[in-house]
Amino acid sequence: MGLLLIRHWSGNQRPALLTKKQVVRDSYVKSRIVVDARTIVNDVDGIGFYTVFFIKRLVSIFGETCHIIVILPLVRTDLSLFSAEERPYLHFVYYEQMAFSKDNRFDFDAWDTFIASLAPDIYISTAFYPTRYPCCRIVVVHDLIPLLFPTEFAGEEEGRVALFERLMGDAAELCDLLVAVSDNTAKDIRQLYPQCQAAIKILHPDVAYTVQRVRRELASEADGAVEHGRFLMVGVRRPRKNVELVIEALKILKEQQITDCKVYFIGTEDPDLVPLTHMIEANDLHELAEHLDYVSDDEMYELINGSVGLLYPTFYEGFGMPIIEFLVANKPILCQKTSSLPEVGGDLVEYCVSDGRSFAEAMLRVRRGQITPPQPAAVEAHLDQLIRKNQLQYSDLFNWILQRLQNQTKRHAKNPLPLEAPRTTLFNSTNH
């Protein structure tokens, strides 16, 4: 793979928007970028999609000038997420231990040995795992929920809080850069780790992809009829989602004999944390509430199309993608003015006080047409602003990475990846 040899920019100004052409012009020898992407599995969730699109952007800029090595989990990995054009620029290696297991035990020495075997110039973990291998280290911080809401992790997940504390402490100590998914997450890092010497940059999830996907899916469901008074609440498993507040609002509506408002609670229930089914039954709310458990993407978009709005009373989110989805669907959104939600929703959502009566009154105002969907032009302007901001965030981050590659001094020689080697390699952590 050779030594790092990239010439410096002429002058002090970096480009506002970094392009692949610019990187190719200023690069002579390939360097290694290692991405810990163990959040990518077949049932890709929000963090997994964040990682996929991060790697796609990385390939579009650095694919021709760097060896990009992607660490994937040993099981349930879907390589079709990357196109035939992207895969030749990626070298996939597999690591036996998942980022987070039920017992939350992790062999950090084996991990450092594994990373050392890959000899990265730049190490990036979207799975939130730092390394002690001496290189430029970048860790993505999606949220600090285990530290802010430790009681959510009981039973089988009890060890996750201690593991997260270890990971965050190492990240604050070892990393050159922490990438936060929202301004609010960056603020939390600074408040909880004032001694952190790492630089902090913001990189939102890929809003453009979400907007395109939701528009496409909603268009296919366009003929669905709106069920009057049907609200959706997305996410019910964790106490911070604030299911109790919506139940309290429904109790108030029941006392007022309101029967044309109904909430569909969507998401897998954990009765030990949030006994949603019990709360519905105990308060005799069957006419006003229904738990749908897991729904497919197609079912979800059908539900969005047929709803009158989103209830999102959550105390804390890393970003808050459901707000984007319901804005695209042009539906009213009722939420609290907490964490990252104002950053995502701007002035296009209805912020309610954190009590059941406030939400009950807001639901009635939606039902009566007193709270209406935001104007399409305002939604378009807001989404366009978020997309442009996301593009600048990527450019700023990749400029930072390029600058670090340029500023590295001559390093020890490294063996190149053999051209004849298969593009998938298995690493068994028990062997180290």
**What pLDDT was estimated at residue 4?**
27
Q: Spell out, as residue ranges, where the chain has pLDDT lower than 70.
A: 1-29, 42-44, 75-76, 98-104, 156, 221-228, 408-432
**What pLDDT was estimated at residue 157?**
73
Q: Which domains does the chain have, with CATH numbers?
A: 20-206+388-431 (3.40.50.2000), 208-382 (3.40.50.2000)
| Burial class of residue 225, CB neighbours in 10 A (0-12, 13-18, 19+) | exposed
**What pLDDT was estimated at residue 5?**
26
**What pLDDT was estimated at residue 42?**
63
Instruction: Write phi, then psi, for 145 (nearest 5 degrees).
Output: -60, -45
Strand partners, 140: 179
**What pLDDT was estimated at residue 15?**
37
Residues 270-328: tens digit of each pLDDT:
888 899 999 999 999 999 999 998 888 889 999 999 999 999 999 999 999 999 999 99
Q: Record the pTM.
A: 0.86
Residues counted in the chain: 432
**What pLDDT was estimated at residue 405?**
85
Neighbours of 102 (CB within 10 A): 11
**What pLDDT was estimated at residue 326?**
96
Q: How many CA atoms lie within 13 A of 31 on its CB side?
A: 29
**What pLDDT was estimated at residue 273?**
87
**What pLDDT was estimated at residue 408?**
65
| Residue written as token pair 């990373």 | 115
Residues 102-129: tens digit of each pLDDT:
556 788 999 999 999 999 999 999 988 9
Q: Give the rounded distance of the alpha carbon of 399 from its chain centre.
A: 22
Q: What is the DSSP string of 95-131?
A: ESS-SS-SS----HHHHHHHHHHH--SEEEESSS---
Residues 354-379: tens digit of each pLDDT:
899 999 999 999 999 999 999 999 99
Look at the alpha carbons of 350, 354, 356, 361 in this order and tell me if their dihedral is positive or negative: negative
| Residue written as token pair 């990385």 | 58
